[in-house]
Homo-oligomer: A and B are copies of this chain.
């Protein structure tokens, strides 16, 4: 089956929004063993939509269209497709009830434009959008299929997962490839490649594929078999091997969040955690709290961005701040130990660093971060030299700190 993707939206063409939908759809189809054949971004212009759908129907069997389904005047996808498939709009009561509930729950009045969201093309299969008011639409014509989805990424993704993919699997005979992704933290791509060189070669000999998917602080290693689920055991044996050899890096599988992994470990140990954060300004706590159920182990934290608050909130002695400077092993340690007392938690993660782009010196350049973890057994420290980019320095600090605690909880030597 040949699949094409059409993304509709001026905002994508003028670069106001980066098109992450196309990449996400590419991955979703890859998991079914289908490579997207072509992806095109076009304007919110009726004739452009018609011409592009025509062209895609020449070349592909299934076309996913995203965008242009909102309630405002610039959203013309539904009207255009309704005309293209020679049908007309009718009121869909199920969708109307959903839209009504949607507004009621938010204590908001429903407008005429919202009611219009329930006017849908006759003959199309309507796909329920739990997270929004614009449903998806599944059109079929002359053995070609077109599926129209909202452009808002989280609406598009949940519609794909809950509605489109199950229907595709049941309607078409799809033999998918099978993937597992190993999540690693704390090592760079080229260093990892050198370390796992032989493991990687054996994997190729077993006709598996490997892709390195790096992002700041994290590498995902995706292992793929074209034979599908029958290779699950083989892939699992490779995963066990890399987990055993590199427990300091491998923290999970298939997109697991390292903070959730740490949270599970804390729960297992019946232990609590708190934070004392400087350069991350609450980002470590925020990452814990992002996971539902975090109140079972996460208690709270101190954001000691100023030196004054490092002293006042976390009781870092003023002479330590003066003698060693805010970004130092001694201060990180004092923050963690001070936090342990104030927050009354078993573990405390403390970080202090120079996120940049300004504030660096020759001795303490931008990107230098000290972190400490206070545990019931004692306090441990490490430091890192990240780069010049503020956002990435903050992100990496958060991830390295989470992995530091993970390793201490599992008694893994780095």
Taking the complex as formed, is A11 at the interface, i.e. its CB lies under 8 A from any CB of chain B?
A: yes
Taking the complex as formed, is A346 at the interface, i.e. its CB lies under 8 A from any CB of chain B?
A: no
Instruction: Return the chain B residue nearest A52 by Cβ.
Output: B38
| Residues A41 and B22 in contact in the complex (CB < 8 Å), given A289-B394, A299-B309 | yes
List of B residues within 8 angstroms of A275 by Cβ: 282, 303
| Residues A13 and B41 in contact in the complex (CB < 8 Å), given A281-B298, A300-B313 | no
Select A282's contact among B215, B282, B313, B387, beta carbons within 8 Å.
B282
Taken residue by residue from 213 to 241, chain A's Cβ proximity to chain B (1 for < 8 Å, 0 otherwise) reads as: 11100001010100000000000000000
List of B residues within 8 angstroms of A299 by Cβ: 305-306, 308-309
Evaluate contact between B23 and A106: CB separation under 8 angstroms.
no
List of B residues within 8 angstroms of A290 by Cβ: 281, 390-391, 394
Tell me the smallest distance from the CB of A329 to a CB of chain B, in Å. 16
Taking the complex as formed, is A321 at the interface, i.e. its CB lies under 8 A from any CB of chain B?
A: no
In whole angstroms, how far apart are the Cα atoms of A206 and B209 in the complex? 56
Evaluate contact between B302 and A306: CB separation under 8 angstroms.
no
In whole angstroms, how far apart are the Cα atoms of A358 and B213 in the complex? 33
Evaluate contact between A15 and B11: CB separation under 8 angstroms.
no
Select A14's contact among B17, B27, B44, B304, beta carbons within 8 Å.
B27
Taking the complex as formed, is A357 at the interface, i.e. its CB lies under 8 A from any CB of chain B?
A: yes
Evaluate contact between A105 and B387: CB separation under 8 angstroms.
yes
Interface of A is mostly: mixed
Copies per complex?
2
Evaluate contact between B300 and A289: CB separation under 8 angstroms.
no
| Residues A111 and B43 in contact in the complex (CB < 8 Å), given A14-B30, A23-B18, A389-B131 | no
Taking the complex as formed, is A147 at the interface, i.e. its CB lies under 8 A from any CB of chain B?
A: no
Taking the complex as formed, is A263 at the interface, i.e. its CB lies under 8 A from any CB of chain B?
A: no
In whole angstroms, how far apart are the Cα atoms of A107 and B13 in the complex? 41
Of the stretches A86-94, A119-127, A185-193, the one at the interface is: A185-193
Evaluate contact between B300 and A302: CB separation under 8 angstroms.
yes
In whole angstroms, how far apart are the Cα atoms of A215 and B153 in the complex? 9
List of B residues within 8 angstroms of A29 by Cβ: 14
Evaluate contact between A306 and B313: CB separation under 8 angstroms.
no
Instruction: Return the chain B residue nearest A26 by Cβ.
Output: B15
Taking the complex as formed, is A198 at the interface, i.e. its CB lies under 8 A from any CB of chain B?
A: no
Evaluate contact between B111 and A191: CB separation under 8 angstroms.
yes
Interface core residue of A12, A37, A282 (most chain B CB under 10 Å): A282
Taking the complex as formed, is A162 at the interface, i.e. its CB lies under 8 A from any CB of chain B?
A: no
Name the 8 nearest CB pairs between A and B, nearest first: A282-B282, A281-B289, A15-B26, A15-B27, A282-B285, A301-B303, A300-B309, A15-B23
Q: List 18 A-B contacts (CB under 8 A).
A: A10-B211, A11-B222, A15-B30, A16-B211, A16-B255, A18-B19, A18-B20, A19-B23, A40-B40, A71-B193, A74-B209, A105-B385, A113-B194, A275-B303, A281-B290, A282-B283, A286-B394, A300-B303
Q: With A281-B298, A300-B305 given, can you name 5 additional A-B contacts, CB distance below 8 Å?
A: A12-B39, A18-B20, A71-B189, A72-B190, A295-B305
